[in-house]
Amino acid sequence: MEAPLVTSVVGIDIGSSVLRAVEVSDPASSKPMLVRCHVVELPPGAVTSGEVIEPNTVAAALKKLWSSGGFKSKNVVLGMGNQRVLARDLSVPKMGLARIRQSLPFEVQDMLPIPVADALLDFYPISESEGPTGPLVNGLLIAAVKSAVLANVKATQLAGLTTVDVDLIPFALSRVMVTRPGVTGTVALIDIGGSTTSVVIAADGVPQFVRIIATGGDDITQALHTELKSDVGQAEGMKRAMGLATGAVQESDKRAVEIIYKVASEQLTSLRNTINYFANTRPTEPVRQIVLSGGGAQLHGLPEALAEMTRTSVIVGDPFATVGIARGIDAHQLRLSGSTFAVALGLALGSAA
C-alpha cells in the first residue's frame, strides 16, 4: 500500500519588528508535529501594526527566514489582527453559512467605517436564537481592510510563497490556547504583541467576543526611549531587566521604573475594562480565568499585576500542549519563549479547519 503524503504548512506571524514562523506537518491529524520554527528581525518601518508597508523589504526578510530556518513547505497561512480589522456581534436571519456570507455586504454596510467594496467580510456563527420575525443566527462579523490584507499577501508572493489562507489572529490564538487543549468554562485569552494586543473571550472553546487594542510591549520601550533619551536597544534592555519591579529599587533606576509602571498600568486598565465590558453584557458568563501569550506577556511581574487588577486567575499558556515537537527542536528552549510562537502555531493549525 502506498504511504499517504505528509502535508505541511507554515504559519507566519508578521510583527512590527520580527517575522516568526512555525512549520507543522499533518495539521489535520490529532497530534500534528511541529517540525521547524524560526525568527528573523525586520528593518524599522517595513511593517506597522501587522500591516506590510514595504512588500519588497518583507519579501527579502521572508526569503532569509526560509533559508536560515530551513523551512520546506511553500504553503503559508497569514494572520490579520490590527486596527484595520473589525470584529463585532451580529445576528442575522437563520440560513446556510454560504448564504449568510453572500448577504453580508447588504447587512453590514451601516456598521463599517469604510465602504463595503473596500472590505473583506466573513461571519463566524456562535449560537441560534428566536427573534421577533423568526429564528436567528448569532455570531461575529469579521471585516478587514482589503488593501491591508492584499499587501501582506503580496509580500509572500514576492518571496515565492503561496498563501493558502488568511485567518483572524484572535481565532488562531483561541484555537491553540483554548479550543484544542479543551479548556472549559469562560476564559479570556490575551495576547500582548509589540504594537497590538488581542483579546478573545471563549466559552467552552468557542470564541464569543473579540477586541483588538492598538497597544503592546513596544509602547513601554518607546516611552523609555523618548523620556530617558536612551537608544531603543537600551530601552528594550531596561524594560526586560526591570519589568514591573517590586521591592527596593536603585535610585538610578527609579525614573525608568516609573515610566514602565505608567505605561503598563494604562494597558492593564484597558484590558480590565475590556473584560468588564464583556462581563456587563453577559452577566451569566463570568470570566473564570485569563490565559496570557505573546512577547509582551513576558514582562516581569505583568501576570501578577493583571491578576490583582482583575481579581481573576492568570496563567501563561503553553501553545505546544497539543502538538508533537520534532527531535531537532530544543523543546525546553522553545518553551522558554514559547508563547511568542502562539500566533504562528495557531495559524498553521487553522489550515486544517
Q: Work out the end-to-end distance of the chain between its first and last CA atoms, rounded to an integer number of angstroms.
A: 28
The mean pLDDT value for 27-37 works out to: 90
**The pLDDT of residue 2:** 41
Decide: helix, strand or coil at residue 257: helix
Amino acid 253: pLDDT: 83
For residues 343-348, average pLDDT: 94
How far is Cα 304 from Cα 318, in angstroms, rounded to an integer?
A: 17
Q: What is the pLDDT of residue 288?
A: 94
Indicate the length of the chain as a whole number: 353
299-305: average pLDDT? 92
Grid coordinates representing 240 are 526586560
Sign of the Cα torsion 67, 70, 74, 78 reads negative
Residue 353: predicted pLDDT: 53
For residues 325-352, give the mean pLDDT. Answer: 84
Is 172:191 a contact under the CB 8 Å cutoff?
Answer: no
Residue 208, all three cell numbers: 464569543
Half-sphere exposure of residue 22: CA atoms within 13 angstroms, side-chain side: 33
Each residue of 199-233: pLDDT tens digit?
999 999 889 999 988 889 999 999 999 999 988 88
Q: Which helix (H) or strand (E) holds 5?
A: none
Average pLDDT over residues 289-299: 90
Per-residue pLDDT, 62: 97
Average pLDDT on 244-270 reads 87
Cα 13 to Cα 91: distance, rounded to the nearest angstrom: 31
Instruction: Give, to the nearest 10 degrees, the angle between helix 217-228 and helix 232-242.
Output: 120
Least confident range from 17-21, 66-70, 111-115, 172-176: namely 111-115
Q: What is the pLDDT of residue 182?
A: 87
Arithmetic mean of pLDDT, 114-131: 89
Average pLDDT over residues 147-170: 93
pTM of the entire predicted model: 0.85
Cell of 30: 490529532
Q: What b-and-e string marks burial along 92-128, b requiring 16 or more CB atoms within 10 Å of the CB?
A: bebeeeeebeeebeebbeeebeeebeebbbbbbebee
pLDDT band, very low/low/confident/very high, at 352 (cuts 50, 70, 90): low
